[in-house]
Chains A and B, each alone.
Chain A
């Protein structure tokens, strides 16, 4: 009895012992496997789960105006991200979130209704929107949504100078238009790298963050723009567009001595903060991208060249019939004028006939040389991406007398508003052409300031330039540009009206025009040059003058801009008897 029970107990002990031995052997084997054989692989796997290589985004530089006011800056915004596979009811989530985020409900619902593990619901959210969205998510107990940091580029002045400043891309923040694009390398900075150890919930473990490479913030860019002048120019031009029904317009205000652009307007424009209503055609900066025939505003080149070459003097008389025929082409003057006029009167009355005669005496070669010296036919500045070169055919390609006559009165030659502003700035700056520019300086993160000197060249003598200025004064006091006159400052300038060329029909329109006015103020001591262009203005003034003419539609805009700009710059009112 005792022997049997002993055997049975012995067996149980042995079995138990075997189980323990096997269990321990298994544990030992596993231990050997984990700690020995597969140790390196498993350690690496664990390391990979905890350790993440992250990019430290560089803070994009700020764009300032000349007074240090921020025109574009980057703040720390938020992005709402989602794991669509966790979202129970995409339509309900979209219905709740779309109104808060200002997103399209259908598009958002479609994005959330997928098996993907990641999608952006909205980017560039400001704090108040984040708070409201967070409340909605919490109240409705929406699963699969979270917020993450995302830089947000903002334009505090809204649409002010938007086509000039440009835009950044929404996803990676790279500059895609305007100064944002031209200066993208400087503004962007250099991203850094870091290694972060995170726990299961994705939280960074303290003291487990290693910086591999610090990010370098982008440089700040200071523009020559004056926000107040820019605002007045935009407001005045917008009002003119609305009252004349023009398709668009441009304006450039610059300092002739330094070449600094104080204002550059391109309308219709856009608001960089409102991308939902962004019209792609409004993004381009028309002041540098759109090319127009400058019409009578270009007559100053032929006249200045003739004066400089000694071909004519201001008092030289010319027979000026109402029309002239050149190789089968008839050129006529607008309005009535004396049948004999001096060069000064030809400019004041903007006589096509008189200018064509002056150009004939000057000769094509010389005329072309001056057109080239005044900077036509090539980009005026390096500060604008996509700036049009305009059109100036080499003199050897001119078609003969008809082309010469057209060139004298601003046809057959294409220019941008900026190029023409630079021509008049040359007259204002005693005959020296200065490269128009908008970039004042680049301020590196270490405080280093980088400036670039604009190109300069003497085109005509100071005496000729002064003579031209007095002629331009006559245009305002006695000629076609009287609507550009202002009380406090003596101004001078030139009107221009060019018929629009229809590419499809190959003919000039009889009703649609480009209306110009370019002027200098104060004319006796130039501080600014302003060019105003209206694309297809229509209607009539109360005295029945057609608004399609530059003197009727563009000249008043010039007056409004110049008066405000001179006040803003602190220029003393005139003591000139003419004023």
Chain B
């Protein structure tokens, strides 16, 4: 018996295995593919659900922020209320001056607009001054 010789029975078995391979491999591949697809679908579904939950969380966050935005606007308006400011000023001991004095700034044209216009006039004057 040489080292390279294959026993007859073994050769016969080997031949059988060679014949079975084409039948099993596609089946295994198919099973594997189905399994992968199965898990992929499950994974994608879970991923989708997770994204949906994330989206829902973001929606809630947006709603909460919007709620906060409007609460702050309301608070801002409340803080500006003249009645509150007057009351606070009185608490701080602020009073209206007895005699109001108008200081005329020469060079500023007669202004009938609001504070914005008065400021524009003053700014123009400052620009002209050396």
A residues whose Cβ falls under 8 Å from a Cβ of B: 69-71, 73-76, 127, 154, 156-158, 160, 204, 206-207, 227-228, 231, 235, 487-488, 525, 527, 569-573
Contacts and interface: CB of A to CB of B under 8 A. Distances in A.
Given A158-B83, A160-B81, A207-B52, 18 more contacts: A69-B80, A70-B73, A75-B70, A75-B71, A75-B73, A76-B70, A156-B77, A157-B77, A157-B81, A204-B56, A206-B49, A206-B56, A207-B48, A569-B112, A569-B114, A570-B113, A570-B114, A572-B112
B82 A231 contact: yes
Contacts of A156: 74, 77-78, 80-81
Given A206-B56, A231-B83, A570-B117, A70 B112 contact: no
A154 B71 CA distance: 10
Given A73-B70, A206-B55, A227 B48 contact: no
9 residue pairs, one from A and one from B, having the closest CB atoms: A156-B77, A206-B52, A231-B82, A573-B102, A70-B77, A207-B52, A76-B67, A156-B78, A75-B70
B100 interface: yes
A228 B82 contact: yes
A392 to B, nearest CB: 34
B102 A488 contact: yes
Nearest to B50: A206
Contacts of B73: 70, 73, 75
A207 B51 CA distance: 9
Contacts of B32: none
Which of B70, B71, B83: most chain A Cβ within 10 A? Answer: B70
A206 B74 contact: no
A561 to B, nearest CB: 14
Given A569-B114, A570-B117, A73 B74 contact: yes
A75 B67 contact: yes
Interface in B66-114: 66-67, 70-71, 73-74, 76-78, 80-83, 86, 100, 102, 104, 110-114
Nearest to A229: B82
A227 B114 contact: no
A70 B74 contact: yes
A448 B56 CA distance: 32
Interface string B106-129: 000011111101100000000000
A487 B99 CA distance: 10
28 contacts: A69-B77, A70-B73, A73-B70, A74-B70, A75-B67, A75-B70, A75-B74, A76-B66, A76-B71, A154-B74, A156-B74, A156-B77, A156-B78, A157-B77, A157-B82, A160-B81, A160-B82, A204-B56, A207-B49, A207-B55, A227-B82, A228-B82, A231-B86, A488-B100, A569-B114, A570-B113, A572-B112, A573-B104
B53 interface: yes
A227 B111 CA distance: 22
A218 to B, nearest CB: 14
B70 A527 contact: no
A491 to B, nearest CB: 15
Interface in B6-37: none
Nearest to B56: A206
B83 A157 contact: yes
Contacts of A569: 112, 114
Contacts of B80: 69, 156
Contacts of B112: 525, 527, 569-572
Contacts of B83: 157-158, 160, 231
A488 B99 CA distance: 10
A214 to B, nearest CB: 14
A528 to B, nearest CB: 11
Contacts of B66: 76
A488 B100 CA distance: 9
B8 to A, nearest CB: 53
A73 B66 CA distance: 14
